[in-house]
């Protein structure tokens, strides 16, 4: 499932092929020189969330994955959590997905912000 525009889908499970316990880390697809990637990493670093980083310029399979969820573009950062993929998400959006789909990855005491009014409206409009 692809998530865009800050839309966090309202799902009860992580998908038909993966269980919550199988998610061991946030997958972050990035490339050197990407300021958006650096900002996202800076925002996530203090949380202590496990992150597996994949440089799309070093591995054709990683670049192909990003293109498959970003309309053929190599838009980074792209994040995958289980079967949820997000193109250029905020740290807040990542925390919200983790809280729902992989709460075991959130260090104890991590506060997850609620979705704002715009994100809630987008979710309703997009069927989430």
Kindly state whether residue 17 falls inside one of the protein's structural domains. no
Give residue 76's domain range. 2-12+23-125
Kindly state whether residue 36 falls inside one of the protein's structural domains. yes
Kindly state whether residue 18 falls inside one of the protein's structural domains. no
Query: Domain holding 7: CATH number?
Result: 3.40.30.10
4 pLDDT above the threshold of 60? no
Q: What is the pTM of this model?
A: 0.75
* pLDDT (tens digit per residue) in 93-121: 999 999 999 999 998 877 777 765 555 55
Distances (CA, A) of 24 to 21, 34, 102: 7, 25, 8
Distance CA 92, CA 94 (A): 5
Count of structural domains, the chain: 1
User: CA nearest 110: which of 45, 28, 35, 37?
Assistant: 45
């Amino acid at each position: 499932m692809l998530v865009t525009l800050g839309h966090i889908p309202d799902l009860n499970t992580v998908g038909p092929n993966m269980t919550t316990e199988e998610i061991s880390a946030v997958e972050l697809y990035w490339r050197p020189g990407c300021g958006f990637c650096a900002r996202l990493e800076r925002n996530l670093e203090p949380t202590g969330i496990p992150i597996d980083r994949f440089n799309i310029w070093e591995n054709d399979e990683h670049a192909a994955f990003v293109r498959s969820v970003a309309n053929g573009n190599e838009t980074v950062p792209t994040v995958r959590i289980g079967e949820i993929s997000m193109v250029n998400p905020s740290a807040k959006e990542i925390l919200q997905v983790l809280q729902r789909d992989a709460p075991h990855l959130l260090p104890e005491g991590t506060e997850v912000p609620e979705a704002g009014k715009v994100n809630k409206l987008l979710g309703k409009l997009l069927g989430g």
